[in-house]
Amino acid sequence: MNKPTLLDVARAAGVSYATADRVLNARGGVAEKSIQRVQRAIEDLGYERDLHAANLSRRRTYAFRFLVPQGDHAFFRELRHSLEAERAPRRSNRISIFVQEIPALDPEALADALDRIQVSDCDCLAVVATDAPRVTQAITRLTAQGMPVITLVGDAAPDARAAYVGIDNVMAGRTAGRLIRLAHTGRTGRILPVVGALTARDHRDRLDGVREVLGEPGGSLDLMAPVAVQDRADRMRVEVGQALRAAPDITGIYSIGAGNRALIEIMAQLPGQRPFVVLHELTPVSRDGLERGLIDAVIDQMPAREIAVALDVMKALADGRDLATAARDITPTIYLRDNLPVPGRQGDTT
């Protein structure tokens, strides 16, 4: 009735505990036919090793390291905050979380940090990656040396990293595009895309996505040339203000990056019917914008959930478990003013 133990397996296989243990842990020195019998017994009894007892016995702990960008951008601040929030509950599951902050938007600095990582430093590494040659190379090295590496939020080295946890930015852009189309049902319009910089892969992907959807047949929307604001509110204020004066017939704005505080302020001051606005990341600022009706939709990648999923995936990797059983799908989530989560915690697990 109860879960079978390894002793049950040994008895069922007609071998000693020691032999069953040798098979289970692949210690070698076991005759082929004994291996068969033990595996047969494991099958028959539905034996599963008690991971907790095993970890207890071998004093195993899990050391997981995260390389995340520095800086005060709301998204990464939230990401780091979620990591801190997971620290205590995970700790009681023998998981230690190490967070290392890396200069943002600097592939070389990231590669340097990756190069300094030793296999002995941790059991699994998660890195907010930028797809640069040296980064790919460093990830490949770590993987080759036996350390599982996952990419978080941004992907790189798709052949080497064990998994990517994050949204598909083309999908996110398409989702924004769909919302914009919805809001233009039965009318034409001009849409202004605002990016941080077109050199950023994620921004290009989102732009591609929105372009795909707006270009679908049946639409009559004019996607303007993107304005780049370096993720800065001051640039946003200037550039978007200028664009709106130059083209007062703008009916929609898709802000792909950061600096949205200024965008929301502009909307607050705009006389008459404001354009339809979609932007990314649920932050205190964007939440406030939604609640005050100054913007229409926020596309969020749920950083807390990303961290939770990343930790689950890392645990699975460290245990040598099959990744298929770990959910790692993160879908861009749409927030309108009516389905905002309660400000507290959401998406974490224990």
Decide: is 184 part of the binding site for a second copy (CB under 8 A).
yes
Residue by residue, DSSP assigns 20-35 as: HHHHHTT-S---HHHH
Closest CA to 272 of 249, 301, 256, 289: 249
* Smaller CB separation from a second copy, 14 or 215: 215
Whether 139 contacts 108, CB under 8 Å? no
Among 13, 102, 179, 253, contact with a second copy (rule: CB under 8 A): 179
Whether 19 contacts 38, CB under 8 Å? yes
Count of residues near a second copy by CB under 8 A: 60
Decide: is 336 part of the binding site for DNA (CB under 7 A).
no
Among 185, 246, 272, 320, contact with a second copy (rule: CB under 8 A): 185
Q: Which of residues 205-224 bind a second copy (CB under 8 A)?
A: 209, 213
CB burial string 246-277: b at 16+ within 10 A, e below = eeeebbbbbbbbbbbbbbbbbbeeeeeebbbb
What are the phi and psi torsion angles at 218 (to 5°)? 95, -10
CA 121 → CA 88, 334, 337, distances in Å? Answer: 20, 38, 44
Mark the segment that binds DNA (CB under 7 A) among 46-54, 124-132, 171-179, 211-219: 46-54
Mark the segment that binds a second copy (CB under 8 A) among 18-26, 65-73, 219-227, 339-347: 339-347
Q: Which residues 6+ apart lie within 8 Å of 133 measured at CB?
A: none
Decide: is 21 part of the binding site for DNA (CB under 7 A).
yes
Decide: is 2 part of the binding site for DNA (CB under 7 A).
yes
Among 1, 29, 146, 187, contact with DNA (rule: CB under 7 A): 29
Among 28, 146, 186, 272, contact with a second copy (rule: CB under 8 A): 186
What are the phi and psi torsion angles at 65 (to 5°)? -115, 140
Q: Please give the residue ranges that form the binding site for DNA (CB under 7 A).
A: 2-3, 5-7, 14-19, 21-22, 24-25, 29-31, 33-34, 47, 49-50, 53-54, 56-59
